[in-house]
Structure 1
């Protein structure tokens, strides 16, 4: 669907923008606690300043993180209890490189001036950080102001776009209660207890295999996530988001083959087969004819990524629409 011309504008006055936030909208940080056990300090270090030969000093206790070095936490002995002898002994230590590498990424919100985990910012491929400048919370408040004048056509367009994808995926009504119970009312990613959460927005059901690839959401294959991790997972193939242990567990819970979950993304073959049926294609074109730009986007995406063109299976589509789609494809 083509972008509508702006019809409202939020005029901002007296906006707070602290000096240390200016120019930081796309700067990523690594956030981690000091490894000295007696120190409670939490450090934020610019990601672009952490190179292969790093040395980072805690400003509170002067503990130094150095590449190639490690911090010891205890001595150990591995004992063979049957033969009553020591097999191995050594030091239990954490390599500083591994500790820094696993640290969560953070960035500043240019609106509320706070530093937050990057998953609390929506994706934005055009920005250097890959995330929007304002956090999801600030964006939500902003949209609640702007959407007071949102016209009904926009609501309808958003709903119809989603409905079209759901129709193509073959999705049917699901039993949310069964899914919640299967996951013990806990977010699969972080284990957050969602049993007392009333809003479906705060405990969303994730398309384990993304709707982007035309896979349906069913009672059997859905994943229960908290709102934050649902936003973080959105659009990602399982192998891009979960670790191998999580993927194995997810395969058991959802019934989706482990090889599919840990493999590369692909389009739902059943949905593509349906789009080879002229009656199905023509019914879709007719039902969503008011949103032809969105149909064209889907056609061009499938053509680019799979070589499949469902327009060729239509008996009724006008050459005008095909020409328009081909022109978009050249851009």
Structure 2
């Protein structure tokens, strides 16, 4: 569904912005400890400055990490205990290329001015770093301030839009504890233990996306952490999971591997419901205050699978049909609209 229009704005005064953070909202750093065993320095280096041929000098002890370099930690001998012969001997070393490559990524939060692991920032496709400018903690506090001004009608509007999709998909009340237990309280994608996190960080994902009108049920839900729930959003399982994960997911959700590993498609039960005139008319009456959302859904179904549920309505005004067709021509000029129209005269 489309993003809601902003209904509040927070005006900031006397905001503290550290000089070293200015312009750094999309700069990603690699962070790692100096490999000198006698040094405790933790080093941050801009990721875009680490070239294939790199030299990184510790600012405290001046130990150098460089491409093709390595640090030795001990000599070893591998013995065969049966006859005490030496199978192999050599040096235990860490290659600098591997050490820097596996280092954690970090970035600055533009609000609290601190550098944090990059996973502490929500994903944002349009930003150069791929992450939000503010960390998750600051964003939560900011949203709590902003949402205090949300009026009852705006809460109701958001809920009604969600209910529109629930009504079409046939979703039901979820027994979250059953889902947690089935996934052993762990994120299905990364295995993160979610027992001791806030409930809002345990996400019950539409295994088959609501975008395609599939329901969220106790049987079919997937447990994901916050990061991977954001990554998975609106993706078909085959676009996000590997084959082994899809087989595991089929066992846990009861959804066939053929569906999970196949191409995205709309829920046939939801489409069938929209061929019933009583269902369509009831939908139009119930959600008439949110006709823009209904029009978006109608046009999407028409573009993706050539199905127009407006033609099954006995009550829809020709004005709404014209508006939907106009929007369709703007977004998809090549789309073909139905010639079937209600037999009612416009008044």
Place the TM-score, normalised by the shorter chain, in its bin: 0.7 to 0.9
Distance 1:36 1:249 in 2: 43
Residues 239 and 284 (structure 1 numbering): CA distance in 2 closer, same or farther, change over 3 Å?
same
Contact 2:55 2:64 in 1 (8 A): no
Asked whether the equivalents of residues 119 and 232 of structure 1 are also in contact (C-alpha less than 8 Å), the reply is: no
2:122 and 2:227 in contact (8 A); partners too:
no
Tell me how far 1:314 sits from its aligned partner. 3.1
Deviations 1:232-255 (A, max 9, x none): 443343344445544443333223
Q: Check the 8 A contact 1:76/1:92 in 2, yes or no.
A: no
Q: Which secondary structure state, in structure 2, belongs to the residue aligned with residue 134 of structure 1?
A: coil
The number of residues matched between the two structures is 324
Q: TM-score, normalised by structure 1?
A: 0.76
- Which structure is richer in relative contact order (CA contacts within 8 A, separation 6 or more)? 1
Would the alpha carbon gap of residues 76 and 239 (structure 1) be closer, same or farther in structure 2, given more than 3 Å must change? Answer: farther
Task: Indicate if the aligned counterparts of 1:41 and 1:60 stay in contact, CA closer than 8 A.
Answer: yes
Matches within 5 A, 1:29-68: 29-31=29-31, 43-51=43-51, 62-64=63-65, 66=67
Map 1:99-178 to 2 at 5 A: 105-178=105-178
Instruction: State the 1:141 CA deviation.
Output: 1.0
User: TM-score, normalised to structure 2's length?
Assistant: 0.73
Task: Give distance in 1, aligned partners of 2:234 and 2:11.
Answer: 33
Q: Distance in 2 between matches of 1:52 and 1:323?
A: 58
Gaps in structure 1 of 5+ consecutive residues: 80-85
Further displaced range: 276-285 or 39-48: 39-48
Cα distance change on mapping 1:104 and 1:305 into 2, 3 Å: farther
CA pair 53-165 structure 1, distance change in 2 beyond 3 A: farther
What residue in structure 1 maps to residue 207 of structure 2?
208
Matches of 1:256 and 1:103 in 2, distance apart?
Answer: 38
Change (3 A) 1:165 1:64: same
Aligned partners of 1:190 and 1:319: how far apart in 2? 50
Q: Give RMSD over aligned pairs.
A: 4.0
Q: Tell me, which stretches of 5 or more residues in structure 2 are unaligned?
A: 81-86, 332-347
Give distance in 1, aligned partners of 2:89 and 2:256: 40
2:83 aligned partner: none
Query: Could you say what secondary structure the match of 2:116 adopts?
Result: strand
| Structure of greater Rg | 2
Q: Is the 2:123–2:230 Cα contact (8 Å) retained in structure 1?
A: no
Equivalence for 1:275: 274
1:326 matched to 2:328? The reply is: no
* Partner Cα separation in structure 2 for residue 258 and residue 33 of structure 1: 44
What SS is found at the alignment partner of 2:219?
Answer: coil
Say if 2:211 and 2:234, in contact at 8 Å, map to a contact too. yes
Q: State the 1:111 CA deviation.
A: 0.8
